[in-house]
Each structure stands twice: as structure tokens, then as C-alpha cells.
Structure 1
């Protein structure tokens, strides 16, 4: 079957050493299945990125038959609005792909703009039940296609008798509350003196990494904390295998890929109950959930896992089973079916 050429509009920035977005993986998997894919943008500068998105949509209009446009909150929302305006003028069918745990809050403040953008799309996709549910206020027929994993890349190791080896993997940004992980470390160390926390991730320039360092110095925890920096995507499975407990301290979240990766590797996940995490994680079945910004509760959850090997084993096994449902072999056919349907009716 011949597939229509597709334009993917989003952030393709891994070549600059920045985080690899799921859109990059989608483009590669589609290409491997015989799809012709055009991607934009690879520009690091925000202004140049928007310009590249618009010019690509215009100049290559004869090279694609439908488009997939990523939608984020904040200033990036304007990029989607601008690109979709061009696509409508060109009479190109397009799909919107919603991202980010903050998008529902943004939509509450800008409901008119969000409703207009979603209304004109041929289809709208959410990667989580959380976004699907909360964005239905602006369009009812939002589809759910989860963010996928290449599950074979994540070797599973059953965790039962846990070491006090904690892992945190996220960008150092205030919305993810990285300093809370150091507060958890301080509390756990009172009961488990050999505890160690490794925090991986790029610095986002808002002072969060400096706050982490200051907090560690204030409590004399420099020897119990490692800050290796950003980890390349292909090395994530390897670094996760070095830990037994994964901390997610986010204050705003959707369906974090880093949590899914930890689940695939069999780590025991302790996460704040915010945004989309309660839709992804089931308390005491495949993770332990605690209130947001509650370092005491998260530390107690960590200690509970260290004391209860049966609980740790249950979470480790269940987390892996859930992660297997997000494999590309399951998710990619859903995208292909949607593209073919939109093109056929577009």
C-alpha cells in the first residue's frame, strides 16, 4: 500500500545535544516502514525555528500530502497557530499532537485560541488519558495514542531486596522541582546512611541546578549526590540499571517518558501525584504516589520500599508489564492507521 508523504512539525533538536523528542523517533520509525517524511525544525534558535517551520510548510507544499503538528503551551503555542494557518491556506489536512502537562492550565487561560486551533484540525491526538480527558473541553473526539518505547532497548532487572540507590532523570527546571530530590535524600540518609542519589539531566538555565547544589552543600550531602549532567538517549537504559529506586519530583507533568523508561527497566518508581502521573501509575501496584512538594512523604515511600521486598518486587514486575504495552510495535500501527484515514477523508 502506498502511503501519503507526511510533514512532521515540531522540535528536532537532538543534533544540538538537546533532549530527543518522541517526534524524532516517530519520524525514524515511519521512514523505516517506507513512509516519506519531511521534518521541521532542527533550528536551535526559537525565532529561526518558527521561520523554518513556516517556510518548510510553504516551499515544500508539493512534497507532502498531510501534516502532523506538535502543540505545546506557552509561546510555542503560537508556532502551532502560525503553521496551521499556513496549512489551512494550502488546504492541507493536518493532525494536532498535544504535549505537556501544563497544556490544560494554558487552555483555561486561552480557551478561545485553543478551541479555534483544535476545531480546525482533521484529528487531534493526546499521548495520555490525562490530556485526552482535560482537553475534551475544547474538542470531544480527541484520540489517545501513547508515547512509545523501544522496549527491547530496556533490559529488565527484577528489584526485590533494594539497595538505597536513587535515580532522578529530568531537565533541571523549576517545574520538575529537582531540589526536592535532595530534600528526600537528606531524610532517607537519616535511616539509610549509605544512600546515594544520582541526578541526570540538562540544565535549563533557571537556576534549578544551582539550587540543587546549594541544598546539598547546606546539608553536607555532596558525597551522597552525583550530578553527571545530560545523558544521551541511547545511554538511558544503562544509567537506569545502576539504580533501584526512581524519583519523579515534578510539580507539573503529563506522561513522562523518563518514568516509562524506569518502569521498563524494573526500577521501583516513587512519584508525585500531579497531572498525568495518576493516569499512568497505579498506587501500590506499579508505583508509589505521594502528594506534590512533600519530601517527607516521598522519603517515607523510599524507606518503605527498602523495608518491604515483597512490595518492591510487585512494583518492579507490574511496572515492566505496563511498559511493554507502550512498545513501538503496538503504537506505530496506530499512527499509520490514523494517517491513512485522515488522508483518505482529508
Structure 2
């Protein structure tokens, strides 16, 4: 079986939300792949050095290096690792995650080409990113979706939706958490009993700012802080509608998980969302930061239960393609047929 080196920010052990490296490295190992992963070091500089040291240590015995590749500061560890892979003659596979990667391609075309044009294969978890990279003339781009394990999610068919909203994401400006609070305020004009639970860790000061904003708006919001997947999915039966308020996105796993749990989704139509969801078929899509439009979409679901039920069923049918039993076939094909 193939030997894999997986490079990324493995920081769940330090209280951060799990990322792809935390889940996919385990799934690969369970399928019989020999997996080494790096890095879980909390200091960013030390983490990059650990990534490079691990690469040099295992270069001669590794079949493929998978690199979680993001669009902002974490773009640069991917750049360094990929160029070392070229020197060491290691086949590397950037796994593209950053919702703002299109801007990175435009702002750093030279560095981007050095990474992506020399990769064994670039893996895009959304058709949106695949299209963006192909338009940028990046060769060797494959679509393999983000993965969830459906067996870990209890689908609940909801009847008689209530304005009980759930939001799950890290508190960062890019994810626009204040919009969720504003939507709650708008909803309470029609449904005074409307409620909102926001799950996720602090990232850039947005949690404190969102709490202050809720006080200013005079609405009560339940802030749980970071929860494990088991903990927040355990909360899901107490809520009826999942909202995503992000400014940029690719294929958010939390949205996929909400679909697997039977929650109707209302999301801002940004980045790769329109490649993932279809308005009025498996989700309600609204404009970026469109507070009134999102509140109206929620009212539409509440007041049209049959429509909401059909949307939820369509979403679950779609999510089957993201189950590991399906996705692993695509990874096996990539890693074993060359």
C-alpha cells in the first residue's frame, strides 16, 4: 500500500476546529495507507520548520506528499513544502481549500505557478475551484469533494419548523458572524421567540465583536465556543434551520454536515456555494451580507413546510456523494493508478 506524507495545520489538539488533515489522514490510515502527518506544533514558525524537517526525513520512502493549501498566510507553507518536494523529486498533491484562492492566483501568479504547475495533481474539493484553476491555465486539476461519514450523522426529519437558527464556523471576519446576529434581530420582528446558537472558536477578535454587536442589537445569542463535532451535532436536534453567512467560501464542511443532519440550509451565495447548492432545490441562497433577504428566506421555509421538507430531502440525496464510501474511490484511483 502507498506511503503518504500529509502536510497541513493539524491543530485540533490545541482547541482549533478540525481541518482536513485531522480527518482525512485518519481515513487514509483506516484504508491501509501508511500515513505520516505534520504538523501539530502550535507556533507557526516552528510548525513550518517541523513540516520541512518531516518532509526531508521521509522523502525517500514517501510515494506522495499531500499538501493542504490555503489562500492567505498559510499559502506560504504550501509554497515552501512544494518547492522542497521539487528539489527532493517527491510527487506532491496540493489539496485546495482556501475560499480566496482565486485572489491568490491573481495577486501571486508567479508563486502560484511554481506550486501548481509542477504538482503531480491538484485536487479541488469543489467544481468552482476546479474551474477557477483551469481558467488560470493550471494543468492537472481533479475534482474530489470534501468528505463526511454519513454514519456519524443522525438525520432528523423536521416538521413544523421554528425560527431556531444554528450557525457553525470559526469567528473570523471572513465568515461574517455579525450577519447572523442581524438576521436574528430582523426575524424577531415577526417571531419574537426566534433564537440563534453560534458554535465556533475565536479566530481574529470577531467573537468579542459579535457579542458586543448582539448587545447593541439587544438580542440574546447563545455562544458555545468551540465544540467537537460530536458535541455540536448533538445540539442540532434542538435547532431547525442552519445559516451560513460567509463572505468567501469553497465547500464548507459544516454546511455538508447540516445537510446530513436534515437541517434546511440558508446560505450566502458566494465563491463555490453556487457550485454546491441550487437555490430553491436543496438550499436557500441569498446575497452576500443580505440580512433582510436571508430573514425572508427563513420565513419562506417556516411558512411552507412541504417545500422545506422537499428541500431537505434533496439536500440529503446530494450529500450521499460526499460520503467516504464514495470519495475514497476517487482518492484510490488517483493514488494507485499512475
Shorter-chain TM band:
over 0.9
**Counterpart in 1 of 2:130?**
132
Give the alignment partner of residue 269 of structure 2, picking from 262, 269, 273: 273
Q: Which of residues 234, 248, 266 is equivalent to 2:244?
A: 248
Q: What's 1:173 paired with?
A: 172
Superposed displacement of residue 26, structure 1: 1.3
1:162 Cα deviation after fit: 0.1
What does 1:93-108 correspond to in 2, within 5 Å?
93-108=91-106
Is this contact kept in 2: 1:66–1:92, CA < 8 A? Answer: yes
Task: Decide whether the 8 Å contact of 2:166 with 2:196 is kept in 1.
Answer: yes
Structure 1 residue 63, shift from structure 2 partner: 3.4
* Equivalent pair of 1:154/1:261 in contact (CA under 8 Å): yes
Question: Which stretch has the larger CA shift, 284-293 or 107-116?
Answer: 107-116
Q: How far off is 1:45 after superposition? A: 1.1
TM-score, normalised by the number of residues in structure 2 = 0.97
Q: CA deviation at 1:155?
A: 0.8
CA shift, 1:304, in A, is 1.1
| Alpha-carbon distance, 1:138 to partner | 3.6
Question: Displacement, 1:62?
Answer: 3.3
Report how far residue 28 of structure 1 moved. Answer: 0.9
Matches within 5 A, 1:242-321: 242-321=238-317
CA deviations over 1:52-83 (Å, ceiling 9, x no partner)? 01000112223322211121112211211111
Cα distance, 1:19 vs structure 2? 1.1
Please state how far the C-alpha of 1:340 moved relative to its aligned partner: 1.5
Task: Indicate conservation of the 8 Å contact 2:20/2:68, yes or no.
Answer: no
C-alpha separation in 2, matches of 1:165 and 1:328 = 30
Task: Report if the CA contact (8 A) 2:120-2:140 is conserved.
Answer: no
Structure 1, unaligned runs of 5 or more: none
Which residue of 322, 330, 338 maps to 1:334? Answer: 330
Q: 1:236 Cα deviation (Å)?
A: 3.1
1:193-208 to 2 correspondences below 5 Å: 193-204=192-203, 206-208=204-206
8 A contact 1:97–1:126 mirrored in 2: yes
Question: How far, CA to CA, are the matches of 2:216 and 2:320 in structure 1?
Answer: 41
State the TM-score, normalizing by the size of structure 1. Answer: 0.95
Q: What secondary structure sits across from 1:70 in the alignment?
A: strand
Which residue is 1:15 aligned to? 13
Matches within 5 A, 1:140-151: 140-151=139-150
Structure 1's consecutive aligned runs of 4 or more residues displaced over 3 angstroms after TM superposition are none
- Flag the structure with more relative contact order, 1 or 2, with Cα contacts below 8 A and sequence separation at least 6: 1
Displacement of 1:85 after TM fit?
Answer: 1.6
- CA RMSD of the aligned region, Å? 1.2
How do 1:39-50 residues align onto structure 2 when only pairs under 5 Å count?
Answer: 39-50=37-48
Q: Distance in 2 between matches of 1:266 and 1:49?
A: 38
What does 1:65-76 correspond to in 2, within 5 Å? 65-76=63-74
- The aligned length equals 337
- Answer with 315-324 or 147-156: which moved more: 315-324
